[in-house]
Amino acid sequence: MTNVTNLDTAEISSLSSTIQDYLSLIYVMERDREPVVGSRLAELLGVTPPTVTNTLKRMTRDGLITMSKDGTHLTEAGWKAARVVMRRHMLMEWMMVRTLPWSQLHSEAHQLEHAISSMTETALMEQLGRPQTCPHGNPLPGCDEFVKDWIPLTKISPGETVTIRRIHELAEENAQLLGYLETKHIIPGVRVAVTEILPFNQTITVEVEGQPVTLGNAVAGYIFVEIQ
Ligand SMILES: [Zn+2]
Ligand SMILES: [Zn+2]
């Protein structure tokens, strides 16, 4: 049994990579005030619901989460560990930003983040100039304020031009989607014009660098923009 009651950053590496993956997803759901549901975790992680149930039981035993009729929630130790996991993941993404295509940063960082020491984390943070977001525009723990004015693309009216700022963490889990967005230049910093919204079709069409791109509302809801 992992004793996480007084977890310090050096001890995070002792948590298995599976637990670290769960921690980061639960962190995002809790932060966004979304209920932490087993079936949703199973879908995002590509595992079966019984596997999720077993892992959640293990995390409860280890003092990272609580499960009751009020739902599944991170404990204080769970929040603390999750923040470290998220920060290390995002710093790894930045570390590889010049080496790999944007759409592959997340999955590669995912392979490496589990092994970082707190010494490397601190050094990277300084060297990277204390970034407030990851290369997908998602806030580092403690930097939520930085992204608070960015709104989902689904809230924009036809005719408006906006700047893409963020592709939500839960969309980062979908490698195919990231690859598609990168091919179509729907990445942070790019200006797009909303040209058509078809509520009956649940689609929104934007013009990116002169090309029309049609997105489903589910995907558009994960894309956050700044009105400028
Ligand atoms: Zn990521
Ligand atoms: Zn990212």
- Buried-exposed string 39-57: b where 16+ CB fall within 10 A, e elsewhere: ebbbebbeeeeeebeebbe
The answer on 195 and 94 residing in a single domain is no
Separation of 133 CA from ligand 2 center, angstroms? Answer: 8
CATH number of the CATH domain containing 27: 1.10.10.10
Q: What is the pLDDT of residue 116?
A: 87
- On whether both 119 and 16 belong to a single domain, the answer is yes
The confidence score (pLDDT) of residue 8 equals: 58
Task: Determine the distance separating the centroid of ligand 1 and the alpha carbon of 93, expressed in angstroms.
Answer: 7
State whether 101 and 159 are in the same domain.
Answer: no
In angstroms, what is the span from residue 203 Cα to ligand 2's centroid? 25
Q: Is 98 exposed, middle or buried (0-12, 13-18, 19+ CB in 10 A)?
A: exposed
d(CA 8, CA 83): 11
* Helix locations, the chain, DSSP H: 17-31, 38-45, 49-61, 76-95, 105-112, 118-127, 144-147, 169-172, 175-183, 217-220
C-beta of residue 25 within 8 angstroms of C-beta of residue 32: no
SS3 of residue 153 by DSSP: helix
Both 117 and 159 in a single domain? no
Whether residues 81 and 157 fall in one domain: no
For ligand 1, the distance from its centroid to the CA atom of residue 184, given in whole angstroms, is 19
What distance in angstroms lies between residue 134's CA and the mean position of ligand 2's atoms?
5
Q: Is residue 144 one of the residues assigned to a domain?
A: no
Residues 211 and 122 in one domain: no
Write down the pLDDT at residue 3: 46
The CATH number of the domain holding residue 213 is 2.30.30.90
Question: pTM to 2 decimals?
Answer: 0.92
**Ligand 1 centre distance from Cα of residue 169 (Å):** 6
Report the pLDDT value the prediction gives residue 7, as an integer from 0 to 100: 57
Report the pLDDT value the prediction gives residue 12, as an integer from 0 to 100.
Answer: 73
Please check whether residues 27 and 75 belong to one and the same domain: yes
Q: How many Å lie between the centroid of ligand 1 and the Cα of residue 198?
A: 31
Residues 113 and 10 in one domain: yes
Ligand nearest to the CA of 107: 1
**Residue 39 and residue 122 share a domain:** yes
- Grouped pLDDT means (10 residues each) for the chain, 228 residues: 50 83 96 94 94 97 95 96 96 96 96 87 95 98 97 97 97 96 98 97 97 97 94
Residue whose C-alpha is closest to residue 25's, from 11, 39, 12: 39
Domain count, the chain: 2
Q: Ligand 1 centroid to 130 CA: how many Å?
A: 17
CA of 172 to the centre of ligand 2 (A): 7
Instruction: For residue 169, give its domain range.
Output: 151-227
| Distance between Cα 132 and ligand 1 center (Å) | 14
Is the separation of the CB atoms in 94 and 53 below 8 Å? no
- Taking a 5 Å cut-off on Cβ, the residues next to ion ligand 2 are 93, 134, 136
